[in-house]
């Protein structure tokens, strides 16, 4: 941006401060050039109180941060209060673009932007990450789809992560193609790279260097289908008795999943690691990475594992089938336990294939899904929308 041109003022609104949505947000807050963009974050820490220290850190780094409590579930009274707080916050700010993220902030934030400025020239950008009607029953799916169809009328740009999501935007909510932008997630290839500390990473897990290790990272919730991972692990153990299985994450299904592991007779083979801020040592220790979700936007765990040269086994769903190729990983039909087990066992049994696939996976991420590409595309979109 030429010297003397005013910075573009962006108000980012988010409720979902966990997992990949949080990573996506932090990439924007940390990576957008401050000489071109003046960013204010309006966020909730209700879903995860661990985000409050992050908000304080952002403030120390010079980013304006406002807290507006929002909850994920439909809650008419709390939603109304959050809406009024968002309106008040936006009226106090000078903004060119309101950029909302995920479903709850996407609904309340877009309505608040309309109530206090979008009609006077401010623009609205929304990133759904996952559409709220995905994975819902018929009635709930219809309700969420209808809400998105209505909000789409006042959304200047809808930013999706994949061509699959672009199709959902066009056919599912009737978004005009000219207002849909595909910007894939990206990872820092320097940050996510093998460090040569595999033995130390395995030692911290209590594993010898030659023990086969399959990893899974995610929130323990229905969408992620960790139960499929555990059931496939039980079948892999029949073929590879020495194999161990790493589960990194926390969530509402943890107790049920631990009971499932016990019922499958594999409790002794599962390493439960809970929440982590830094998954890199776990990728370092893995031989194979498994993703088992029913649906995804574009999972950071898949990109990170690939960047760390860990060959992945993933479901053939939107967000995975546009990332993986036959040279870089194995796609399996969703929920097909035997298919996951066969693919994992095949990789564990062929170290040459693992090495070749891991290297090809990293090359693809560096070439197609870099953090720099993500930031450049987002900055270009903001400038286009503001113009």
CATH superfamily, region 8-186+370-386 = Glycogen Phosphorylase B; (3.40.50.2000)
> What is the reported pLDDT for 4?
65
pLDDT (tens digit per residue) in 169-181: 999 999 999 999 9
- The backbone region for 129, taken as left when phi is positive above 0, alpha when psi lies in -120 to 50, beta otherwise, is left
Q: Which residues of the chain, if any, have pLDDT below 50?
A: none
CA distances from 235 to 116, 241, 311, 348 (A): 57, 10, 19, 13
3-state secondary structure of 159: strand
Give the bridge partners for 10, in sequence order: 39, 97
User: Could you please report the per-residue DSSP string of 104-144?
Assistant: HHHHHHHHHHHHTTGGGT-EEEEE-SS-TTTT--HHHHHHH
pLDDT (tens digit per residue) in 93-151: 989 999 999 999 999 999 999 998 765 678 999 999 999 888 777 788 888 899 999 99
Q: Supply 381's token pair.
A: 């979109």
CA distances from 255 to 125, 218, 219, 224, 252 (A): 39, 15, 13, 15, 8
Domain with CATH 3.40.50.2000 in the chain: 8-186+370-386, 198-368
> What is the reported pLDDT for 3?
59
pLDDT (tens digit per residue) in 178-208: 999 999 999 999 999 999 999 999 999 999 9
> What is the reported pLDDT for 141?
82
> What is the reported pLDDT for 182?
98
- CATH number for the domain formed by residue range(s) 198-368: 3.40.50.2000
Long-range contacts of 172-176 (CB under 8 A, 24+ apart): 172/131, 172/133, 172/145, 172/148, 173/131, 173/145, 173/148, 173/149, 174/149
């Amino acid at each position: 941006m030429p010297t003397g041109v005013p910075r573009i003022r962006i108000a980012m609104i988010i409720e979902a401060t966990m997992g990949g949505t949080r990573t996506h947000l932090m990439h924007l807050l940390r990576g957008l050039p401050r000489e071109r963009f003046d960013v204010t974050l309006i966020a909730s820490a209700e879903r995860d109180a661990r985000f409050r220290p992050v908000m304080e850190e952002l403030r120390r780094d010079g980013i304006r941060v406002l807290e507006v409590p929002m909850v994920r579930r439909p809650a008419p009274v709390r939603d109304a209060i959050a809406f009024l707080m968002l309106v008040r916050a936006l009226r106090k700010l000078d903004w060119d673009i309101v950029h909302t993220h995920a479903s709850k902030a996407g609904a309340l934030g877009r309505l608040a932007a309309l109530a206090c400025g979008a009609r006077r020239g401010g623009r609205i950008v929304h990133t759904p990450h996952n559409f709220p009607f995905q994975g819902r029953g018929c009635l709930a799916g219809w309700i969420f789809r209808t809400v998105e169809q209505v909000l789409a009328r006042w959304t200047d740009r809808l930013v999706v992560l994949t061509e699959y999501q672009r199709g959902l935007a066009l056919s599912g909510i009737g978004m005009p193609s000219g207002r849909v932008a595909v910007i894939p997630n990206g990872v820092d290839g320097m940050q996510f790279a093998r460090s040569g500390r595999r033995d130390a990473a395995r030692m911290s897990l209590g594993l010898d260097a030659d023990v086969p290790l399959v990893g899974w990272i995610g929130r323990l919730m229905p969408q992620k289908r960790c139960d499929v991972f555990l059931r496939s692990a039980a079948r892999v153990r029949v073929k590879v008795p020495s194999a161990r299985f790493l589960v990194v994450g926390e969530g509402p299904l943890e107790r049920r999943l631990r009971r499932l592991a016990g019922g499958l007779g594999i409790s002794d083979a599962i390493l439960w690691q809970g929440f982590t801020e830094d998954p890199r040592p776990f990728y370092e220790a893995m031989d194979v990475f498994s993703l088992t979700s029913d649906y995804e936007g574009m999972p950071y765990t898949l990109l990170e594992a690939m960047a760390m040269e860990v060959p992945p086994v993933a479901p053939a769903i939107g967000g995975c089938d546009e990332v993986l190729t036959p040279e870089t990983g194995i796609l399996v039909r969703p929920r097909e336990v035997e298919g996951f087990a066969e693919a994992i066992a095949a990789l564990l049994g062929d170290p040459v294939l693992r090495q070749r696939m891991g290297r090809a996976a990293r090359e693809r991420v560096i070439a197609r899904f870099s953090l720099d590409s993500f930031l450049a595309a987002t900055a270009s979109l903001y400038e286009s929308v503001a113009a």
